[in-house]
Amino acid sequence: MKKIIFILLSLCLLFSCQKYEVVMPDTSMWNMYNDPATLPLNPAARAAMEGVYSLSRGNDVFGDLAAVKWSHIIQGSDTIFHVSGFFGKDIAYFICEGKQLNGAILFNGYWRKMVSTETGIIHLTIGAGDGAGLLLDPHPVIDSGKITINGLFGSGQEAPNRVITLSYIRKLNRDPAAFQIAAHRSGGRTSDLLPVSENSVAMILKTPEFGSTGVEVDVRYTKDGVPILYHDNTLNLREIQKSGLVGPIENYTYDQLSTFVRLVHGEKIPTLREALDAVVYQTQLSFVWLDTKYTGSIAPVHVIQQEYIQKAAAIGRTVDIVIGLPERDQFNQFLELPDYINTPSLCELGVTEVEQINANIWAPRFTEGTQNELVADEHLKGRKVYVWTIDEPAFIASFINEGHFDGMLSNFPSCIAYNYYVHQ
Amino acid sequence: MCTNKKFLWLTVIMAVLSVNKSFAQTNVKIDSNKIRKSFVLQVGGGFGGYTTVVHIKPPALTGSVNRYSAVGTIRLIWYPSYRLRMGFESGYTDFYSYKVKNDNKPGSVHLSAIPLLFVFSMQVIKRVNIYAGIGAYLETTHLCLRIEYCTIIYPAGYR
């Protein structure tokens, strides 16, 4: 009897595991959107429809307001545009592609809540009389109430069947370039059940859809000294697929990692060069925080940093690539760079250290509070101040509404985007 | 946590494999009332399988993942005057191995482990004992990538 009980208990334990996952809905089934007569939207229409919208239907699921914003990436010779809607409830958002058809504007995509695994398909339409006519004008002028977006959304793979209605209220608040929405781990965490892996090139290309204007990436060295993106101390199943390789990532050469290891969603562990290539040449991201996860010389990373600042400038872009200094060890290594005083850096230590190395950015931890007086002092010295890492929506709102920061780091950039763009 | 499945499966397999015929063969009395405050050293071996699903997907995997190998175990158990026994277990096991070929570069990996377990044992019926343990597996990656790297061994992490 005891043996049977033991075996039953063992079986219960074995089968009690519940794997949480978000199955990305198939958004290819909307016949109207797939109509061959659809045309791409023009840039003026995309820019004009960005703004703050109120929700009159669907607000029980998404909240009362939405910030709607476009982003794009470059893939080969193509430019791929997405429109994102950031909501105030449960860190919800939608991400859609857009087209025009017979004078109407269609948006097809999915919605997701970051506080849960809830997701589904969303179809949105701006009818010709609901503002599409204005938006498709070569020089659209949009006022409050001039655009109404109607649509349906569903749960999971089911056909959309619940109504959502958004009405344009006003432009997005503030100059989007004035505040850095920085996404953690190159755009988001694998543990948040995103469709791509953290610290991957795919995530860098995905994160603009979440509203990010910059990224923080975690830099480590391989055994043969190649700077790569990887967060944890060791190879583990939180970040990679099962490979048989265990232990510190610094034990392996880049060749070995490239041959045997894949991130959770199948991507290769990228080199820092591959990551910066994606940022500079494929996105409009304007800020990269190279978080120093290694101990040892910063010189190899410094060389790459300088190279990509120049590459960005050569194509007419300004990308602030800064070396992050989280602790005293890295700070001391930074002091060994011959021109550290002119090297763009972000320092998480106190203002004394920040001023000692002439850091471009001071990055205090959010638990220190808004520190408005210190922030104002650093502003007077020409320095920016970014706060990290805030994931709680109430704190994000509070720091945006009450603080004077120039940027914020979060695993939920869509939550920052909502609060920043909606804030008056 | 699902990653504990491996540990749980190994525990179950260990328990089943540990239906210890050696007691009968060596005339050790298994009536706990007659065995008092003694230590017993058990040495075992066999053929084991890594039962957790292995989704190894390097780009140039050749063949399949080998999940079966020889297993050796050594266990020191204290037999007190009561029914629950306890002790320490170690040994050696290969979890799995596979080969790749990428750009004409042959490579292989095998993952082995040395268990360091605090084990409990109890007789459930005559000559049948169940064992359960808790502890760590010291894992080691043996990685070969091209001939010149084939002797490299990485002492690694633990589970």
The reply to whether B3 touches chain A by the CB within 8 Å rule is yes
Sign of CA pseudo-dihedral A241, A245, A247, A250: negative
Closest-approach residue (CA) in chain B for A5? B124
Does residue B2 register a pLDDT over 50?
A: no
The reply to whether B134 touches chain A by the CB within 8 Å rule is no
ipTM confidence: 0.74
Contact A252 B124 (CB under 8 A): no
Q: Are A25 and A121 in contact (CB under 8 A)?
A: yes
- Using one digit for the tens of pLDDT, what is the confidence trace for B106-121? 888 889 999 999 999 9
Calculate what percentage of chain B has a pLDDT beyond 90: 33
| Lowest-pLDDT choice from A260-274, A361-375, B35-49 | B35-49
| Burial status of residue B92 (CB atoms within 10 A of its CB: 0-12, 13-18, 19 or more) | middle
Q: In this structure, what token pair is assigned to residue A409?
A: 């780091």
Q: Looking at beta carbons, which residues of chain B come within 8 Å of A237? A: 3
Q: Looking at beta carbons, which residues of chain A come within 8 Å of B128? A: 3
- Average pLDDT rounded to a whole number, residues A72-84: 97
Q: Looking at beta carbons, which residues of chain A come within 8 Å of B58? A: 243, 259-262
Report the 10 Å Cβ neighbour count for A319.
20
Distance CA B67, CA B46 (A): 14
Q: Are A210 and A84 in contact (CB under 8 A)?
A: yes
Higher per-residue pLDDT: B29 or A207: A207
Please give, one letter per residue, the 3-state secondary structure of A289-311: EEEECCCCCCHHHHHHHHHHHHH
The reply to whether B125 touches chain A by the CB within 8 Å rule is yes
Q: Which residues contact A392 (CB under 8 A, 6 or more apart)?
A: none
**Interface with A, mutate which of B16, B141, B152, B158 (most A CBs under 10 A):** B141
Backbone angles phi, psi at A55, to 5 degrees: -105, 120
How many CB contacts within 8 angstroms connect chain A with chain B? 93
Distance CA A86, CA A176 (A): 14
pLDDT of residue B92: 94
Distance CA A275, CA A290 (A): 11
Q: What is the mean pLDDT of chain A?
A: 94
- Average pLDDT rounded to a whole number, residues A294-300: 93
pLDDT of residue A290: 98
Rounded to 5 degrees, what angle do the CA atoms A378, A342, A350 make? 35
Q: Looking at beta carbons, which residues of chain B come within 8 Å of A242? A: 54-56
Contact A242 B54 (CB under 8 A): yes
Q: Which of A234, A243, A252 sits opposite B56 (nearest CB)?
A: A243
| Lowest-pLDDT choice from A50-59, A97-106, A107-116, B104-113 | B104-113
CATH topology of domain A176-422: TIM Barrel (3.20.20)
Predicted TM-score of the model (pTM): 0.87
Q: Helices (DSSP H) in A225-324: which residue ranges?
A: 254-260, 272-282, 299-314
Phi-psi region of A247 (alpha: psi -120 to 50; beta: other; left: phi over 0): left
**Interface with B, mutate which of A259, A261, A264, A269 (most B CBs under 10 A):** A259
pLDDT of residue A178: 83
Band of pLDDT at residue A407, cut at 50, 70 and 90: very high
Does residue B14 register a pLDDT over 70?
A: no
* CA-based nearest distance A27→chain B, Å: 27
- Using one digit for the tens of pLDDT, what is the confidence trace for B89-148? 999 999 999 888 777 778 888 899 999 999 999 988 888 889 999 999 899 998 888 655
Band of pLDDT at residue B27, cut at 50, 70 and 90: very low
Contact B109 A234 (CB under 8 A): no
Instruction: Report CA-CA distances (Å) from B3 to A165, A273, B9, B52, B68.
Output: 44, 33, 11, 9, 19
Q: Are A400 and A386 in contact (CB under 8 A)?
A: no
Q: Where are the domains of chain A?
A: 39-170, 176-422
Band of pLDDT at residue B1, cut at 50, 70 and 90: very low
Band of pLDDT at residue B61, cut at 50, 70 and 90: low
Calculate what percentage of chain A has a pLDDT beyond 70: 96
The reply to whether A191 touches chain B by the CB within 8 Å rule is no
Rounded to 5 degrees, what angle do the CA atoms A202, A122, A416 make? 55
- Average pLDDT rounded to a whole number, residues B28-40: 61
Q: In this structure, what token pair is assigned to residue B10?
A: 């190994």
The reply to whether B95 touches chain A by the CB within 8 Å rule is yes
Higher per-residue pLDDT: A406 or A177: A406
Contact A244 B157 (CB under 8 A): no
Q: Which residues contact A373 (CB under 8 A, 6 or more apart)?
A: none
Q: Comparing C-alpha atoms, which of B90, B13, B85 is closest to residue B47?
A: B13
Distance CA A39, CA A102 (A): 9
pLDDT of residue A328: 96
pLDDT of residue A206: 98
Does residue A83 register a pLDDT over 60?
A: yes
Tell me which residues of chain A, numbers 15 to 34, contact chain B at a CB-CB cutoff of 8 Å.
17, 19
Q: Which of B57, B102, B157 sits opposite A262 (nearest CB)?
A: B57
pLDDT of residue B9: 59
The reply to whether B67 touches chain A by the CB within 8 Å rule is no
Higher per-residue pLDDT: B83 or A291: A291
pLDDT of residue B101: 78
Closest-approach residue (CA) in chain A for B156? A247
pLDDT of residue B143: 87
Q: Are A269 and A217 in contact (CB under 8 A)?
A: no
Q: What is the mean pLDDT of chain B?
A: 75
Q: Are B142 and B119 in contact (CB under 8 A)?
A: no
- Per-residue burial over A24-38, b if 16 or more Cβ lie within 10 Å, else e, is ebebeebeebeeeeb
Does residue B20 register a pLDDT over 60?
A: no
Q: Looking at beta carbons, which residues of chain A come within 8 Å of B1? A: 17
Distance CA A24, CA A158 (A): 12
| Lowest-pLDDT choice from A146-160, A163-177, A277-291 | A163-177
Three-state secondary-structure class, residue B108: strand
